Structure 1
Amino acid sequence: MSTTFDGAVIKEQGVTFAIAVVKRGTLANFLQKKDAFSYFSRFFGNIPTVLMEQDIHGVPQYYGRKDIVKFLSSIHPSRIPWKRYTIN
């Protein structure tokens, strides 16, 4: 069974990092957030990983390394090169 998710790998100011989109409510639940962070960190390998969810109005919220979260919070999500990933 395969799983798909939206995400991105970005190189900005010499830092390469990944973003994984998670379902609404994940970041508010400690165990779900921890599990998702661990899962996507393994998927993307040895680069910092950030989780992103959107509220009902489409406003993103990020979780991960503080400098990356601060950067992502300052740009519009449409500027992120989103891609659909499939995990087999």
Structure 2
Amino acid sequence: MRFHGAIIREQGVTFAVVVVRRHVLDNNFEADKTAASFRQAFPGMPVALMAQDHCGNPTYYGRPDISRFLAGVPLGAIPWREYTLN
């Protein structure tokens, strides 16, 4: 499976952010399950999820400190790349 994500190091914390479809964030159980599945690709790192609405505005799901941080970062400043998870 291919997906878009990024690894970010900020204020001594290294974490991953992964792009998902909006409906994933609408259900906390589904969001938790999805984040857990991406931990295989980013072992030992907290994983935040990001989805965009129809206007392109991002919403983040994950640890509150990480989600708050990401909410203040422009999408273009995040070092997105394509990953593969088998």
TM-score in same-fold range (> 0.5): yes
Listed one character per residue, the Cα deviations across residues 2-37 of structure 1 (whole Å, up to 9, x for unaligned) are: x10000001111111000111121100233212201
Aligned pair partner of 1:62 in 60, 63, 66: 60
The offset of 1:64, in angstroms, is: 0.6
Mind listing any 5+ residue stretches in structure 1 that lack a counterpart?
none
Q: Partners of 1:35 and 1:47 in 2: how far apart?
A: 15
Q: Partners of 1:47 and 1:35 in 2: how far apart?
A: 15
Counterpart mapping for 1:1-88 below 5 A: 3-88=1-86
The one-letter code of the counterpart of 1:71 is: F
Mind listing any 5+ residue stretches in structure 2 that lack a counterpart?
none
TM-score (ref. length: structure 2): 0.93
Q: Secondary structure at the match of 1:57?
A: coil
The one-letter code of the counterpart of 2:17 is: I
Listed one character per residue, the Cα deviations across residues 60-79 of structure 1 (whole Å, up to 9, x for unaligned) are: 00011111111100111110
> CA RMSD for the aligned pairs?
1.0
